[in-house]
């Protein structure tokens, strides 16, 4: 079954019972959790070809995060729990792809925990820009990556675990260096290799 969402629509909420898995066909979805003080914390952005909601089905637990559409339209393919389990049990290629995706998510989560304890603002923002560029960037003739960011500066700050003011300052520094160009939600990374190299290094190590 296919579903289409508009920007801002709730796809599922933290604590909901999990009855299906969603395969994103187009658009972007953000995953969030709420902190104890009620602040929304951005866990990540998922795009076309990625699957969400599978963790809750595998261990039969409630949803551990909330999901919201970032774009209009956002199209998803809904896989019911019985069909998902059948695919896992009978389709080796599907199961291997699912395992690869889960390993990637665990590694991303581990790196995020490390950066919160060890990395500075420059490293955290570089890591988010590098991921956005890889996911949504279009290669230009001059070697840069251009894309329309699906998230706001506040969401970028929440994702990085820093204040919005710190993100604004870091983006300004990158613009002064000539590494980045921004105009509204449009971003163009002029030095993707430099951003990637900074993203790969934790300042505290």
Looking at residue 203, what is its pLDDT? 67
pLDDT at 204: 52
Rounded CA gap, 74 and 135, in Å? 16
Q: What tens-digit pLDDT sequence spans the chain (205 residues)?
A: 999 999 999 999 999 998 899 999 999 999 999 877 777 888 889 999 999 999 887 788 899 999 999 999 999 999 998 899 899 899 999 899 888 988 888 888 887 777 777 789 999 999 999 999 998 999 999 999 999 999 999 999 999 989 999 999 999 999 999 999 999 999 999 999 999 999 988 765 4
Look at residue 189 in the predicted model and tell me its pLDDT. Answer: 98
Which pLDDT does position 28 carry in this prediction? 93
């Amino acid at each position: 079954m296919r579903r289409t969402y508009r920007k801002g629509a709730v796809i599922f909420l933290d604590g909901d019972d999990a009855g299906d898995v969603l395969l994103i066909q187009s658009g972007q979805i953000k995953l969030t959790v709420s902190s104890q003080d009620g602040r929304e914390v951005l866990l990540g952005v998922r795009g076309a070809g990625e699957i969400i909601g599978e963790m809750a089905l595998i261990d039969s637990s409630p949803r551990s995060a909330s999901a919201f559409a970032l774009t209009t339209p956002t199209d998803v393919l809904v896989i019911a729990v019985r069909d998902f389990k059948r695919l896992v049990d009978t389709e080796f290629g599907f199961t291997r792809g699912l395992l690869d995706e889960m390993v990637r998510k665990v590694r991303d989560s581990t790196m995020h925990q490390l950066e919160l304890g060890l990395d500075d603002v420059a490293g955290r923002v570089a890591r988010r820009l590098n991921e956005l560029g890889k996911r949504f960037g279009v290669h230009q003739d001059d070697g840069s990556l251009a894309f329309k960011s699906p998230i706001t500066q506040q969401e970028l700050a929440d994702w990085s675990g820093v204040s919005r003011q710190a993100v604004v300052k870091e983006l300004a520094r990158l613009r002064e260096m000539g590494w980045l160009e921004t105009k509204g939600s449009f971003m163009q990374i002029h030095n993707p290799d430099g951003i990637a190299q900074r993203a790969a290094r934790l300042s505290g190590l």
